[in-house]
Amino acid sequence: MMSTKCASFLQSSEWYESLGRVVSSQGAEKVEALFDAISVLLTADEVMLFYFKPDLGPDIIVHRTDNAKRTRQIHDYKRGFYLTDPFYLALERTEQSGVMSLGELVEDDSFEKSEFYRYHYRATELVDEVCYCMSHGSGGHLLLSFARSHHVGRYSSEDIVAARLIVPLVVAVLTASADYLVDPASISPATTDEINFHRNLKRARSNFGRSVLTDREYEVVQLLLRGYPIDVISERLEMAKGTTAVHRRNIYRKLDISCQAELFTLFIDVIEEVSIDIDSDPLSLYLQPL
């Protein structure tokens, strides 16, 4: 059920005036008008629009924040952190357009232990995020993020209901504006080095644990790295949930970690420390004695 506050706003003259600006605008102004309207509805402190190219890392198309720390974080995000972003992992698992909330994708206690949370949320005083996603004709994806700081607090269930109600509007505007948003003239083409780097990054993830874990443990860790919960892993591997849990426990023991968030942190540590331009298990190289 939607809160009285959200219901009142969606029936207000302010909301319809916002929609009027969206409808009457073109190109960049249409997109900016949409962002303005949603930012008020969701009381967002930060807005970012990502374009994930097929088989490549993200381009950041729109970035509305005055937080100086974000410059460095955006660079690190594009250099590999995105592979541990719950929203990117969700994009890999679905082709559907819609809205996702951080609370739906992570377990709070576990996620807050992760390097991604420490670096991309706590360091910038963000506490919650809602993202709209849609596929693009190029084979890539658009991800539109609305984040909140601790000054505003987390999104409520009523906020999420309101966010879902306007999915058709968001998808329609992004679809109509997609050619403008991902215009090759406004996005730097990927260099050979960037293409090779992201190819190697994906290969490093695919090889992660291959030579250190058993075959079954390796299959489980690969799905864990892609953000799947234990019940889905069990279904995909046609194993009993209890058996999958045993494999996960053995993986954590061998890698000296205690949760999925720490697995993501370990992966980031590994790819930062060892060469990923060779077709081998980066974890094995990382664990070698100096």
Residue scoring higher pLDDT (79 or 164) = 164
Mean pLDDT (whole number) for 27-53: 87
pLDDT at position 217 is 96
pLDDT digits (tens, 9 = 90+) for 174-214: 888 877 777 665 556 667 887 888 888 889 999 999 999 99
Residue 1 has pLDDT above 60, yes or no: no
Q: Which amino acid is at 148?
A: R
Q: Do 4-181 and 192-283 show the same overall fold?
A: no
For 192-283, CATH number out of 1.10.472.10, 3.10.180.10, 3.30.930.10, 1.10.10.10 equals 1.10.10.10
pLDDT at position 218 is 96
For 4-181, CATH number out of 1.10.260.40, 3.30.450.80, 3.40.30.10, 1.10.287.70 equals 3.30.450.80
Residue 54 has pLDDT above 80, yes or no: no
The domain limits of the chain are 4-181, 192-283
Residue scoring higher pLDDT (144 or 81) = 144
What average pLDDT does the chain have? 85
pLDDT at position 66 is 66
Mean pLDDT (whole number) for 258-268: 87
Phi (first) and psi of residue 96, to 5 degrees: -80, 145
Residue 2 has pLDDT above 70, yes or no: no
pLDDT band at 14; cut points 50, 70, 90:
confident
Stated pTM of the model: 0.81
**Percent of the chain whose pLDDT exceeds 90:** 30
What does the alpha-carbon distance between residue 22 and residue 168 come to, in Å, rounded to a whole number?
14
pLDDT digits (tens, 9 = 90+) for 151-168: 889 999 889 999 999 999
